[in-house]
Structure formats: structure tokens, C-alpha cells
Structure 1
Amino acid sequence: MRFEDCSIRARLALFTGVAVGALCIVFSVVLLFAINKMATQNLSKEVTAVGELTAYYVDRGELVNPLPPIPQNLIRPVQVVDPRGQVVAATSDLQNRPPMAHFTPKSPNRVASGVVCSSVFPTGGCHIVVAQQVYRNGDWTIYSAAPTLPFFVYPGVAALLIAGTAVFTVAVAYGARHTVTRSLQPVDAIRAQLDHIRSSNLSRRVPVPMAEDEIHRLAQSVNETLNRLETMFEQQRRFCSDASHELRTPIAAIRAQLEYALLAPEDVDLNRLCDDVLPSVERLQSITSDLLMLTRLDAGEPCVRDSVDLAELVAVELNSHQMGTKVVHRLAPHVIVRGDREQLRQLICNLLQNAQRHACSAVTITLRQENGDRRYTPGVAELEVLDDGIGIAADQRETVFQRFTRLDTARSRDAGGIGLGLPIARQIAERHGGTLTIQDSDRGARFVVRLPADP
């Protein structure tokens, strides 16, 4: 099994165990090195003490061979070399053997040490050798030695460190796995709850742990995402229901008229039938066009960003529509914004149609750009469409921007509205970095579009 296939618990336990084991090994090596260094220093002092004791007897002329008296706890290989370089006395284990070393101390210390690996020593191997000089009718040299210590010094200490490293590593790895397992229990609960959430029931939420840690914040984010998802699905269901309802009405009218024509073809006037069916077809076309526009806006399709003269665009829209009410326009020239010409035309068209639908006698269109007036944000083009109808209550000004929403006073289908024009207009404005809001007015509804001006 690959490392990537292991669970988080196993990977964290493995990583923690390896890291702790490596640290324990490094610590053990450093500790053994320190112990070895201290033990070697102590051994060197002991060897030096043996040499000093022998030097004392040489200085007093009490030299004997083999070399007593040396206390049992200080017995070490010792040799005494006379000024001619001959071994004149040695401990019993070095009798009749050549000098164990050939270096001599340098004045004024008269003591030198080194590691000598030679077959002179009965036990073989390497020894720490300390050379000391005594003057008695010449320079006498006393060599004392002791076997060098292994790196681990004491096998018991090395065994204890190895066992401690193994036990400590296993304990830490087990503790890390156990801690991670307990910490991830809320994650398992969140996953189990998510497995039971279906699109048909988005009201369930994942449990939020009491401890305010990363998992607590994760659970809150998941619940917020589920809230948005539930809202989106509810909007989608309502949208499909409203769209089906709006489409069913003209389709039912067309079907009824065609069935009546089939039942009595001799009584049907073809021109009259076409005149009766055509409004329903136009309504179907309007609904499908608005639905297609909403789909494109929701999908975020890229649009061409050109410099657009809003005054020119409003004038074109006014000329291309037969306005059933009086239109008063105050259009400042050369109000330029950057955006998609077709989408901005659609925005203006929807606002004009909405105003004409609810106006009593007149529609006022005002276009301006900030030029020192503090009432308007610098660099903003403002388009205002005002009708003299009954207006919109303050608590319903956001409701009219919901899809397929029509106020009670505008529920008549003869008015032609299906509740998509204003949502499309606001979405176009927001896509161009602007806003579409309803503001206070003395009479009627006052729709205000603000778009960033093109510098």
C-alpha cells in the first residue's frame, strides 16, 4: 500500500513516530558522545595519576622491576624508559617488551598524551598513553596506558537508550494516532451527515462541535454552504414552477383555438384565427427570450466591452418603440460607459416597457453624468426612468426584482408583464459594475440605474 493511500491517522502517526525516533537517536548519539568524552577525560586523569605515582618512586631512586607498589585500583600498563631509551622497569604484563610509545613531553609541561595502537599491549587494540618526564641524572620517561573506551562506554547505557528510544517512539506514535482519531471524530460525524443529505431534503445540517477550533469553523462553513445550496435549489424549483405556469397559459390558449378550428373548419376564418393565435405566440417568444437571457447572465458568458453612448442608445430605443404614453426625456449628451451594447439596450428596453405599463399619462427619462454636483458619485452615469403611476411601496421595492414576481396591482396578464424584465435589468446593471434601485419620488415609481462612466 502506498503512503498516499494511508489514512490521515496512519500518516500522522508514522510521521510523528519517525520524527520522534530520529530525535531520540540524535539525542542518544549526543549523550553517548558526551559520556564518552567525560569518561575518557576521567580515564586520562587516572592514567596520569598512575604515571605520577611511578614518577615519584623514580625520583626517589626506589625503582624496582616489576613495578610495585601500585594500588590495585590504579594498576595500569606502565613502563619506565631511561635516558638511553631502554625500558628499565615495567608492570608484569609488559615485561621484556619494547617501549609502548616513542613520543616524549615537550617542556615546560613535561606531560604528553596520545592514542597508540600497537601489539606491545597484551590485550591488543588501541590505548590512551600518557608520557611524563622525570629528571634524575638525565630525562627519564614514564609511560602509563589504559585501553581506549568504546563509543557507547557502558553497554548498559547504550541498551537503555535503545530501549527507551523504541518505547518512546511507539508511545508517541500511538498517542498521536489516538489524539488525531479523537480530533477527527467530529469530521466523521460531518461526513456521515453529508452522506444522508439528498437534493430532495436539504434541510438537514451537519453537527457543529462545541470546541471553537478549525473543525468548528469547517462545520459552520459547511452549514452556510448548505444554506446557500438549499436557497438555490428552492429558487430553481420556484423558477421552474413559475416558468411552467407562464408557458402553460399561452400554450393552452393556442391549443384551445386550434382545437376549435379543427372541430368546425367551415366556420373558421383563417385570418381571424392567426390574429387570435399570434398574441399567444408573441408571449411565448417573449418568455423564451427572457429565459434565454437569464440563462446567459447566470452562466456568466463573456460579453464585448465597447464604449457605448447611453444618450444615443436611449434615443434609438425610444424611436424603435411605439410609446402609448407621453415621454419626456432629458438626455445629457456624450454620457459614455463601457459595456455590451445589446445587454444595455435590453436594460433600457425593459425599464421603458415597465414604466409604460404602469404609467397613467407620462414617462420621464433623465440621463446625466456627475460634473460637480455633490448629489452624484464622481465618474458615474445615472439613468432615471420615472412613471406617474401608483408607485411601489417601500417594503416591496426589492420584491419586484425577484423572478416571476408581479405585484397584486399588476397581476393582469393583459398588461403583458411576466415578472422577468426587472430581474434581467438589475442583473445586467450589476454585471456592468453598476446598480439598479427604486428610489423615492413624489408620484409613481422611480428606477435609477448607476453605471461607471468611461473615462
Structure 2
Amino acid sequence: MAIGVFGLTIGLALGGVVLLGALRFVLQRNVDTEAFRTADAVALLAAEDVLPDPLPVAGGQVRVQVVDGQGRIRAASIDADRLVPMVRPERLHRDRRQQLDVPAERVGLAGPVRVVTVPAGTADDPLTVLVARSMADVRQSTHVVRVILLVAFPLLVAVLAGVAWRVVGATLRPVEALRRGAEEITGRAGTGRLPVPASADEIHRLAVTLNGMLDRLESGRARQRAFVSDAAHELRSPLTNIRTELEVAQRLADRTDWTAVTANLLADTDRLSRLVDDLLLLARLDEAPPARGTGAVELGGLLTEVAARYPASPVRVAMPPGPLWTIGNADELRRVLANLVDNAVRHASGEVVLAAEAASAARQRIGAGVGAYHLVTVTDDGPGIPAADRERVFDRFTRLDDGRARDDGGAGLGLAIVRELVRRAGGSITLTDAPEQHGLRVCLLLPAAPAEASPGHMVDAP
């Protein structure tokens, strides 16, 4: 605020100086113009050799002299000196017009005095017309303006400073309210919202944006707390089992079946290792930017490879003739299919069907807006998932009621990992009812590789 008032003061001071200079210049130019007009009229009389004596001049603040080449006064106005020229001979240039300042006592006018000279006469008898005009009115006018500026300047600065103080204060008051609100939120380390001013201006939009940011931060903190709590709970369970097994074995060392204890410990250790690996994978996926795959992957071979892991389970692969190429990371897509098949096998009562369809067939089945995406489905004949829960199951650590048993239902991270990996591959995943209205079908849309990306193969035209 002080800097603004200081800058305003400097600006007004410079404006006042420029105003005074411009006023002085305009008034002096007017004086010179009037003096030259009078001198030209007298020069015209001299050229016609009809100079009257005394010279007629209007106004009491004007003196006129006509001087010859020897410095003698040929004619003068009634109040002008007839013996001494108003300008010393050495200062006169008889061949051009001049504007001179001379002492007031030499002319007999109230100073300062402005004198203009105009050549006149003939080549044989050169003359010079001298016209003197008093600058007292100019000095008086500039003095009055200077006094007005000196009196009005401090008052104007004070008024403008007061107005600026009120305006800036009113403008910054919402900002101060935002600052206090932010300080209160920071002080209590909890949720809260910043006050939103009623005015529809930039401060209003800033407050709305900051409140939106606070809501997102709070939502992120809530998810983080829930994630940490769930992760700690899931990690505690196998650790508790391991501790319990060891304590019982230690207490009943002579009657302990160490083979069973070892098997249980290995099972809990494997479960703990899988949980830690899943958590680390999710952490890496959260940190890594979304990215499309790095190479072409043949879906038929990938589905066959995943299905081969379940030799004793009813996993059947249904593929159209010819290869289907997609763009992605083979390891990540393998992890996606393995998680989906694991989940389907866990809940299926009969068989699990792992199938793929080309982009053209996928468009006919799902809709014309699908685009160049291959459709991969994992279908089981288990109990299915209610429609209300089909989005929730992709949340981390989510297990439905019939999957709550940790030994059978897992930690609830499989589908969360699947969704993140599918997003990174540039695809999408949805859950629907199986065609027989009994069971669950998982539909994956994976981007079809362009013809030039497929090693020696052509994919269906989009």
C-alpha cells in the first residue's frame, strides 16, 4: 500500500511539473506570436516608407523601435526610448528573425521582457523592427497555477491514498479471510472449508478452487488412511497366525507335529509374500504415469498359457481362427488374466471359459462405438456378483460377504490390480451377467494392434 501511494505521489508530481512546463511554453509562444504579428505590420510600413512617428501600438505592455544599420532609432512607439535601442547592437542579426530575453530596466516594462526582431527596409537602407512585450502576465499565470498545485497536491494525494486504502482493504479483506481460514485448517489439522465471498470475482473463483482442492486432498487422505488401515489389518493376520503357530509349537515342543507347523508357516508366509507383492505393485502403479504398452502381444498364445496353469480345473479357451494382436506389456496382461481366472476358478461350480473376439466381432457384439478393441471375456458359472456391487469390487481390500474367508477370498486386491493394469494398457473392464443368466462374465476391451505393429500378421480392420 505504501509503495502504491509513493508511486502515485511521484506520478502526480511529475504530472504537475509537465503541466507547468506546458503552460509556460504555450503562454510564451502566444506572446511571441503577438509580438511577431506587431513587428511584421511595422516592417510592412517600413517597406512602403510610411512609418508614422510615434508608431501606433495597442496595449500598454508593448514597446516598438525601428533601428537602422548604425543603431540609430528611426521610429518608436510613444512609450519607447528614442535614444537607446532595446537590444544591444552586437546581439542583433539583421538578416533573420530573433527571440530574445532582455532586462526589464532596459525596456521600462515589468519583467521579464521578451523582444522579437524582424528585418525590414531595403538593401540600401536596412532596418530592424524591435517589439518588446512584458512576460509579467505569463509569470503571474504560472505562479498561480504553481500555488494551486502546491496546495491541491497534498490534499489530492491524501484523498487518493484514503480511497486506495479503502478500495485495497475491501479487495484484500476476502484474501485475509481466506488466510485465516487456511491457518485455522492448518492449526487443527482437520477438515474444513475456506470462506467463499459473495462477490462473483477472481477471489470468489479462487476460494471455490481452493475448496475443491481441499476436498480432493481430504478425499485422498481418507483413501490413504483406509488403505493403510486395511493393509495393516491384512498384514497383521498372517503375522498373528505365524506367531500363534510358533508359540504353540514352543509350548508343546515334545508333542508338536513339526511337519504340519512347517506347512502352516509356509502357507502364511506365501500369503504374506503375495500380499506384500500386491501392495508394492499397487504403490508402483499409483506413482507411475498411465502408459500404453510397449509391444505387440498375441492374445491366443497368452490365453492358452494362462489356462495351462490350471490342468485340473475346468478352464476352457475359445479363440477365433487366426492370431489376435494387441498392444501392451505381456507381463502385465498375463497378470490381468491370471487374476481374473483365479477369481473365476475360486467361485465357479462347473467350468470357466476364457475367450477372445476380434475387433470387428466385438463391435457387432457390444456396439458400433467400441472402435479398434479386441474383446476378451472370462466367464464362470458361479453365484455371480450383484449389479450394485460390480463397481465396488474394484476398490482395494473389497471382499463381498461370500468371499470374506481370507483363505479362499484373498485380500481383495486382485481386481484392483486388474483395473489399474487394464487402464495402463489403454483398455477398459466391465462386469456383466453370464449369457445363461447364471454366473459372471468379465469383459476386457484391449486395443487392437495396427497392422504394421503385428509381427507378420494383419489384424481386423477397425
TM-score bracket, shorter-length normalisation: 0.7 to 0.9
Post-superposition Cα deviations, 1:174-195, rounded to whole Å, max 9, x if no partner, equal: 4334322221211211221222
1:392 aligned partner: 385
Q: Which amino acid aligns with 2:352?
A: V
Closer/same/farther in 2, CA of residues 62 and 295 from structure 1, 3 Å limit: closer
AA matched with 1:88? R
Q: Is 1:352 aligned to residue 341 of structure 2?
A: yes
From 97, 103, 106, the equivalent of 1:122 is 106
Per-residue CA distance 1:17-54 (angstroms, 9 max, x = gap): 53674377357625742563255325532674488589
Alignment of 1:50-449 (within 5 A): 63=53, 73-81=59-67, 86-90=72-76, 91-93=79-81, 95-97=83-85, 101-103=92-94, 113-116=97-100, 122=106, 127-131=114-118, 142-146=129-133, 154-161=142-149, 164-165=152-153, 167-169=155-157, 171-198=159-186, 202-300=190-288, 305-322=294-311, 324-330=313-319, 333-371=322-360, 373-374=363-364, 375=367, 377-441=370-434, 442-449=437-444
Query: Does the 8 Å CA contact 2:306/2:338 hold for their aligned counterparts?
Result: yes
Aligned length: 432
More deviation, 250-259/198-207: 198-207
* Aligned 8 A contact 2:73 2:83 in 1: no
Q: Distance in 1 between matches of 2:173 and 2:233?
A: 47
Cα RMSD for the two superposed structures: 3.8
Is the Cα contact below 8 Å between 2:354 and 2:378 reproduced in 1? yes
Report if the CA contact (8 A) 1:21-1:169 is conserved: no
Deviations 1:212-269 (A, max 9, x none): 1111111111111111122112112222222222222222222222111111211122
| Distance apart, 1:333 and its partner CA | 4.4
Does the Cα contact within 8 Å between 1:101 and 1:116 map onto a contact in 2?
A: no
Partner residue, 2:454: none
CA contact (8 A) 1:48 1:144 kept: no
The answer to whether the Cα contact below 8 Å between 1:36 and 1:151 also exists between their aligned partners in 2 is: no
Secondary structure at the counterpart of residue 96 of structure 1: coil
Contact 1:206-1:222 within 8 A present in 2 as well: yes
Percent identity for Structure 1 against Structure 2? 30
Q: Which residue of 2 aligns with 1:3?
A: none
Render the CA deviation track for 1:255-291: whole Å, top value 9, x for unaligned. 2221111112111222222123222222111211111
Using the TM superposition, give the Cα deviation of residue 297 of structure 1 relative to its aligned residue in structure 2, in angstroms: 0.8
Any stretches of 5+ residues in structure 2 without a counterpart?
451-462
Partner deviation per Cα, 1:148-172 (whole Å, 9 max, x = no partner): 6879962221343455455445543
In structure 2, what is the Cα distance between the partners aligned to 1:319 and 1:414? 23
The secondary structure found in structure 1 opposite 2:316 is: strand
Distance in 1 (CA, whole Å) between partners of 2:297 and 2:150 is 80
SS at match of 1:154: helix
Distance in structure 2 (CA, Å) of the matches to 1:27 and 1:371: 81
TM-score by length of 1: 0.81
Q: Does 1:454 align with 2:449?
A: yes
Q: 1:337 to 1:322 in 2, by over 3 A?
A: same
Contact 1:52–1:132 at 8 Å: present in 2 too? no
For residues 453 and 86 of structure 1, the distance between their equivalents in structure 2, rounded to whole angstroms, comes to 112
- Tell me the SS of whatever aligns to 2:62: coil
Label 1:310 to 1:151 Cα distance change in 2 as closer, same or farther (>3 A). Answer: farther
Indicate if the aligned counterparts of 1:308 and 1:338 stay in contact, CA closer than 8 A. Answer: yes
**What's the CA shift for 1:405?**
0.8
Structure 1, unpaired ranges of 5+: 1-8, 106-112
- Measured against aligned partners, the alpha-carbon deviations of 1:195-221 in whole angstroms (never above 9, x if no partner) come to 222597533111111111111111111
The aligned amino acid for 1:394 is: A
**Relative to structure 2, which stretch is displaced further, 207-216 or 20-29?**
20-29
How far apart in 2 are the matches of 1:438 and 1:255? 39
